Amino acid sequence: MKVLPDLVHSGEQVLEVGAGTGETGLLLNSHGIPTDGLDLCPRPPLWPVQRAWHQGDLKSFPGYGPYPVVIGNLIFHQFTEAELAVVGAALRFGARVVVASEPLRRRLSQRMMAFVAPLLGANHVTLHDAHVSIAAGFSGNELPAALGMDDGQWQFTCTETVLGAYRMVAVRRP
């Protein structure tokens, strides 16, 4: 999330959706970027007491309002097109910036994972999950389109890395 320091204005708070065990939020908070978490899981034990943790479903979360910056790491590929449309509507209502890091959907990434992961000690469950996640990933401008951010009100860039990462940075036009 190297792009965040340039995107977060003074006094703004970040919401990490699908925050899981909180590693990303902990890192951002340690670098002075005030980040709260939202996940189905309960508050992680190491989560800072001064930062909010919202336990709930991001598809029906009513509290996006105070968060002009929303980030997601390996979460959006877990939803259907219809669910992404619902999430996108909520994010478009109040967010000024949305940043997402997801799997890049391509066969080469699946082949690379199938070859490399066993060498790193991955078991059959991890191999299966990686294959499914990559297949559910994104390419091109699919994620901003699924979130409804292709309506001219958003400026977005989607980048793809050689190692199979897909990153979207969307900023609401003034």
Does some domain include residue 79?
yes
Distances from the Cα of 151 to the Cαs of 30, 54, 77, 144, 156, in angstroms? Answer: 35, 30, 21, 9, 11
In angstroms, the CA 96 to CA 91 distance is 9
Region of 140 on the Ramachandran plot (φ > 0 left; ψ -120 to 50 alpha; else beta):
left
Mean pLDDT on 136-165? 91
Does some domain include residue 155?
yes
Full-model pTM? 0.90
pLDDT at 125 over 90: no
DSSP three-state, residue 53 = strand
In angstroms, the CA 103 to CA 15 distance is 20
Does some domain include residue 28?
yes
Query: Which residue, among 43, 62, 60, 39, has the nearest Cα to 51 in the 3D structure?
Result: 43
Q: 12: domain range?
A: 4-104+138-172
Distances from the Cα of 110 to the Cαs of 13, 80, 107, 138, 148, in angstroms? Answer: 36, 20, 5, 13, 28
Percentage of residues in the chain with pLDDT exceeding 90?
69
Does some domain include residue 57?
yes
pLDDT digits (tens, 9 = 90+) for 11-20: 999 999 999 9
In angstroms, the CA 94 to CA 97 distance is 9
pLDDT at 74 over 70: yes
DSSP three-state, residue 129 = helix
| Summary mean pLDDT of the chain | 90
Domain containing 84 — which CATH number? 3.40.50.150
Rounded to 5 degrees, what angle do the CA atoms 166, 124, 111 make?
45
Paired with 14 in beta bridges are 35, 69
Does some domain include residue 109?
no
Does some domain include residue 119?
no
Does some domain include residue 73?
yes
Domain count, the chain: 1
Does some domain include residue 130?
no
CB 84 within 8 A of CB 147: yes
Residue 151 binned pLDDT confidence (cut-offs 50, 70, 90): confident
pLDDT digits (tens, 9 = 90+) for 27-69: 999 999 999 999 999 999 999 999 999 999 999 999 999 999 9
